């Protein structure tokens, strides 16, 4: 019984870390390459919100629950449908998607001086990232702390210069890194 509980706890923690890593990849890609004008749909639902968030980080607190989470939830519904159509019966992928569906809510709490008390307790453990942890992302050169769920992966990925390595690979294939430009909310 104890081994089974430890196994479930390990699977839940691994699912959280996988979801956190995915948020980091998405956040890094948004901050590094998305710019206005490429697509009206991306502009409306992702690019303009991302730019505004980097210009005025606290503005994320002003939207409603739906405004904050609509894109993540819509993507989660699509991925869940794909998993179901592919007859995935394991619970762990669905947990990863459920965690991802609320990653912007966790990000919002990381910008809040007074998140709900239960959230504050979980932030203290590092299972959800705190305001102090996430604040490092909004400092020049805007090249760290891309994962938005926990406080566990960012220090490791930043220490091994993971994002920098990804950028070097992308540049080798012809991409241009333009993160801290005014068009992306940089100063």
Asked if 25 and 159 touch (Cβ cutoff 8 Å), the reply is no
Domain count, the chain: 1
d(CA 77, CA 98): 9
Per-residue pLDDT of the chain (187 residues; tens, 9 = 90+): 889 899 999 999 999 999 999 999 999 988 888 888 888 998 888 888 888 888 888 888 888 899 999 999 999 999 999 999 999 999 999 999 999 999 999 999 999 989 999 999 999 999 999 999 999 998 877 789 999 999 999 999 999 999 999 999 989 998 887 765 555 555 4
d(CA 83, CA 167): 30
d(CA 103, CA 94): 14
Q: Which domain holds residue 45?
A: 2-184
Determine the 3-state secondary structure of 64 from DSSP.
coil
d(CA 186, CA 86): 41
Handedness of CA 36, 65, 69, 31 (dihedral sign): positive
Structure token pair of residue 28: 């890094």
pTM of the model: 0.90
């Amino acid at each position: 019984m104890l081994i089974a509980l430890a196994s479930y706890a390990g699977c839940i923690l691994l699912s959280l870390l996988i979801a956190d890593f995915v948020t980091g990849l998405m956040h890094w890609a948004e901050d590094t390459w998305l710019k206005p004008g490429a697509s009206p749909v991306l502009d409306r639902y992702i690019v303009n919100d991302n730019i505004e968030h980097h210009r005025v980080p606290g503005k994320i607190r002003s939207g409603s629950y739906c405004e904050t989470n609509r894109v993540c939830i819509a993507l989660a519904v699509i991925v869940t449908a794909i998993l179901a159509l592919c007859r995935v019966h394991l619970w762990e992928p669905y947990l990863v998607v459920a965690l991802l569906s609320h990653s912007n809510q966790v990000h919002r709490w990381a910008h809040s001086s007074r998140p709900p008390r239960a959230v504050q307790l979980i932030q203290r453990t590092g299972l959800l990232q705190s305001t102090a942890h996430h604040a490092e992302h909004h400092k020049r050169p805007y090249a760290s702390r891309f994962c938005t769920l926990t406080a566990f992966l960012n220090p490791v990925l930043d220490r091994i210069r993971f994002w920098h390595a990804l950028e070097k690979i992308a540049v080798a294939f012809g991409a241009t890194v333009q993160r801290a430009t005014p068009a992306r909310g940089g100063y």
